[in-house]
């Protein structure tokens, strides 16, 4: 049956036709991985409502076996049936041809060439590299919670989990925890679509290993290539904030990031322990040497408030202030302590459960400290005001 027009619809010329209303409804459906309306991604090949109220819709998935297929189909049906005039949905699902897919990846890249990095100098995205001197100080936990705090503020957030030897961000955000069935990102030819958790786009070396339990024993050049690929081939889209979870110390990855992203702002995580301060200082010093700005220090695992109200300084005190003071000397500008995050059972259990505590329990003392650090990071450094982001016009 032919599609109606505004006049066939019985309304005035200014009223949208059934056809237009259907397209409008389909425009509310987003591809869950690309996070753009499917109508903008040329994923709706045709859509019309016939005189009996049957919506005939033909959608094109990006690839065969698209993991988001069921979600997209359900959302398309729901969007169509939300229109009063639609009595039934006749949905056909196909797959893009290689030519259509290439047109899509070209559009998504916008003005960028295939191997061009979107997060280097001149980017509109705030890039924070989270580093620490020692392992186990809670750097990944802080990164995941900072990302969730930014996302909770309505920002578009991505994480590159570059901690090759201890990639834990997927688990902290509740994806890919199961080593038997690690989450694999979708590939669109040379483009990699990062999985999304709690509104955060995430890519991790753990997603590319056949056996994520196996130790990664890569040498510098391989690590450099992988990080470069993450920054160029992964489609993060327009991000307000990109966080990088670096491995502890001053190894190959930290040096690569220093070279690739001299514009990154570095967040140094340390414990209150004075002995840990010296190693943390070294990570910050490397950042200064590569021209990166130190955004601040986050002291983690600070005093635990006990049920009787007394505070147990399990890891001593003063480490955050000491690192900030020393880095201020190295950087020749004041480096602030962004927050002192207390030891918190809820912070740990939130990480174990894959839901950052800043989302599940924003009143928790650890959440309050991390949310404060996130806000300070946003207000410091470059402003996001006036950032114009979006798909390049057709
Ligand atoms: N403030 C805190 N209170 C209680 N537990 C915490 C806190 N911060 C981190 N933890 C716990 O400490 C452990 C180490 O944290 P995490 O994995 O984030 O450290 P890391 O510095 O990223 O380690 P690595 O870089 O060596 O992988 C985790 O079990 C985490 O849940």
In-domain check, residue 370: yes
How far is the C-alpha of 215 from the C-alpha of 89, rounded, in Å?
49
Task: Return the higher-pLDDT residue of 124 and 6.
Answer: 124
Question: 175: how many CB neighbours lie within 10 A of its CB?
Answer: 20
pTM: 0.81
Residues 306 and 172 in one domain: yes
Residue 110 lies in a domain: no
- Give per-residue pLDDT as tens, 20-60: 999 999 999 998 888 889 999 999 999 999 999 999 999 99
Pocket test for ligand 1, best of 135, 136, 343 (most atoms within 8 A of CB): 136
In a domain, 162, yes or no: yes
Question: Which residue did the predictor score with more confidence, 338 or 107?
Answer: 338
Atom of ligand 1 nearest to the CA of 345: 4
CB 303 within 8 A of CB 313: yes
Q: Which of 351, 369, 370, 373 to mutate to test the pocket of ligand 1 (most atoms within 8 A of CB)?
A: 351
**Is the model's pLDDT at 6 over the cut of 80?**
no
* More confident of the two residues 206 and 103: 103
Give the distance (Å) from ligand 1 centre to CA of residue 141: 6
Asked, for residue 4, whether it belongs to a domain, the answer is no
Find the domain containing 24 and state its range. 18-96
Write out pLDDT tens, residues 157-201: 999 998 877 778 888 998 865 545 557 788 888 888 899 999 999
| Low-confidence winner among 68-82, 205-219, 380-394 (lowest mean pLDDT) | 380-394
Task: Say yes or no: 261 and 344 in one domain.
Answer: yes
Atom 15 of ligand 1: nearest residue by CA position: 138
- Do 90 and 131 belong together in one domain? no
pLDDT value of position 394: 29
Same domain, 225 and 363: yes
ipTM of the complex as predicted: 0.97
User: Buried b / exposed e across 275-307, counting CB within 10 Å, b at 16+?
Assistant: ebbebbbbbbbbbbebebbbbbbbbbbbbbeee
Same domain, 89 and 130: no
Ligand 1, atom 2: closest residue by C-alpha: 343
Count of domains for the chain:
2
**Cα of 298 from ligand 1 centre, angstroms:** 13
What percentage of the chain exceeds 70 in pLDDT? 86
Look at residue 91 in the predicted model and tell me its pLDDT: 95
**What spacing in Å lies between the alpha carbon of 139 and ligand 1's midpoint?**
6
390 within domain boundaries: no
- 394 belongs to a structural domain: no
Q: Are residues 27 and 147 both part of a single domain?
A: no
Q: What is the pLDDT of residue 314?
A: 83
The predicted structure's pLDDT at residue 384 = 42
**337 φ/ψ angles, rounded to the nearest 5 degrees:** -85, 115
Task: Give the number of the atom of ligand 1 that is nearest the alpha carbon of residue 300.
Answer: 1
Q: What is the CATH number of the domain that holds 254?
A: 3.40.50.300
In a shared domain, residues 29 and 131? no
Burial (CB < 10 A; 0-12, 13-18, 19+), residue 32, is middle
Q: Are residues 292 and 167 in the same domain?
A: yes
Quote the ligand 1 centre to 344 CA distance (angstroms).
11
Q: Let me know whether 89 and 219 are in one domain.
A: no
Same domain assignment for residues 134 and 91: no
Atom number of ligand 1 nearest to Cα 344:
3
Q: How does pLDDT run across 201-255, given as a tens digit for each residue?
A: 999 887 877 666 666 666 666 778 888 888 888 999 889 999 999 888 767 777 8
Ligand 1 site residues, Cβ closer than 6 angstroms? 132, 135-141, 163, 166, 168, 248, 300-301, 341, 343-344, 347-348, 351, 366
11-15, 202-206, 307-311: the lowest-pLDDT one: 11-15
Q: For residue 43, which of 56, 58, 60 has the smallest C-alpha distance?
A: 60
Tell me whether residue 235 is in a domain. Answer: yes
Q: Which atom of ligand 1 is nearest to the CA of 343?
A: 3
CATH assignment of the domain containing 49: 3.30.300.130
Residue nearest to ligand 1 atom 6, measured at CA: 348
* Residue 12 belongs to a domain: no
* Residue whose CA is at the smallest distance from ligand 1 atom 29: 348
Question: How far apart are alpha carbons 272 and 274 in whole angstroms?
Answer: 6
Evaluate if residue 389 carries a pLDDT over 60.
no
Cα 35 to averaged position of ligand 1 atoms, centre (Å): 30
The residue ranking higher by pLDDT, 380 or 335, is 335
State the pLDDT at residue 176: 66
State how far the Cα of 190 lies from the Cα of 102, in Å rounded to an integer: 9
Q: What is the 3-state secondary structure (H, E, C) of the chain?
A: CCCCCCCCCCCCCCCCCHHHHHHHHHCCCECCCCCCECCCCCCEEEEEECCCCEEEEEEEECCCCCCCHHHHHHHHHHHHHCCCCCCEEEEEEEECCHHHHHHHHHHHHCCCCCCCCCCCCCCCCEEEEEEECCCCCCHHHHHHHHHHHHHHCCCCEEEEECCCCCCCHHHHCCCCCCCCCCCCCEEECCEEECCEECCEEEEEHHHHCCCCCCCCCCCHHHHHHHHHHHHHHECCCCCCEEEEECCCCCCHHHHHHHHHCCCCEEEEEECCCHHHHHHHHHHHHHHHHCCCEEEEEEEEEECEECCCCCEECCCCCCHHHHHHHHHHHHHCCCCCEEEEEECCHHHHHHHHHCCCHHHHCCCCHHHHHHHHHHHHHHHCCCCCCCCCCCCCCC
| More confident position, 9 or 93 | 93
Residues 262 and 330 in one domain: yes
């Amino acid at each position: 049956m032919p599609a109606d027009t505004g006049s066939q619809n019985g309304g005035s010329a200014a009223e949208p036709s059934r056809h237009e209303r259907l397209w409008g409804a389909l425009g509310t459906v987003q591809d869950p991985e690309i996070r753009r309306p499917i109508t903008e991604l040329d994923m709706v090949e045709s859509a019309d409502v016939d005189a009996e109220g049957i919506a005939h819709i033909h959608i094109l998935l990006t690839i065969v076996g698209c993991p988001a297929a069921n979600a997209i189909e359900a959302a398309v049906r729901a969007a169509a049936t939300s229109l009063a005039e639609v009595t039934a949905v006749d949905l056909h699902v196909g797959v893009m041809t290689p030519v259509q897919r290439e047109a899509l990846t070209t559009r998504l890249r916008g003005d960028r060439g295939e191997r061009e990095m979107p997060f280097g100098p001149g980017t509109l995205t705030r890039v924070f590299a989270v580093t620490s001197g020692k392992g186990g100080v809670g750097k990944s936990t802080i990164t995941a919670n900072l990302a969730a705090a930014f996302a909770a503020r309505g920002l578009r957030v991505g994480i590159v989990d570059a901690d090759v030897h201890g990639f834990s961000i997927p688990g902290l955000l509740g994806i890919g925890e199961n080593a038997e069935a690690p989450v694999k990102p979708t590939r669109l030819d040379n483009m990699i679509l990062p999985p999304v958790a709690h509104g955060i786009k995430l890519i991790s070396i753990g997603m590319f290993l056949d056996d994520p339990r196996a130790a990664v024993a890569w040498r510098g050049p391989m690590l450099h290539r992988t990080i470069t690929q993450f920054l160029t081939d992964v489609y993060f889209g327009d991000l307000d904030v990109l966080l990088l979870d670096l491995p502890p110390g001053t190894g190959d990855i930290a040096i690569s990031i220093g070279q690739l992203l001299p514009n990154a702002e570095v967040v140094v995580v340390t414990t209150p322990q004075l002995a840990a301060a010296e190693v943390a200082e070294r990570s910050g010093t490397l950042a200064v040497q590569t021209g990166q700005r130190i955004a601040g220090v986050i002291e983690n695992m600070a005093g635990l408030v006990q049920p009787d109200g007394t505070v147990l300084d399990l890891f001593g005190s003063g480490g955050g202030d000491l690192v900030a003071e020393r880095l201020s000397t190295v950087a020749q500008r004041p480096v602030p302590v962004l927050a002192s995050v207390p030891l918190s059972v809820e912070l740990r259990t939130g990480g174990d459960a894959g839901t950052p505590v800043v989302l599940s329990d924003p009143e928790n003392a650890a959440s309050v400290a991390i949310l404060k650090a996130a806000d300070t990071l946003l207000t410091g450094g470059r402003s996001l005001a006036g950032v114009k982001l979006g798909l390049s016009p057709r």
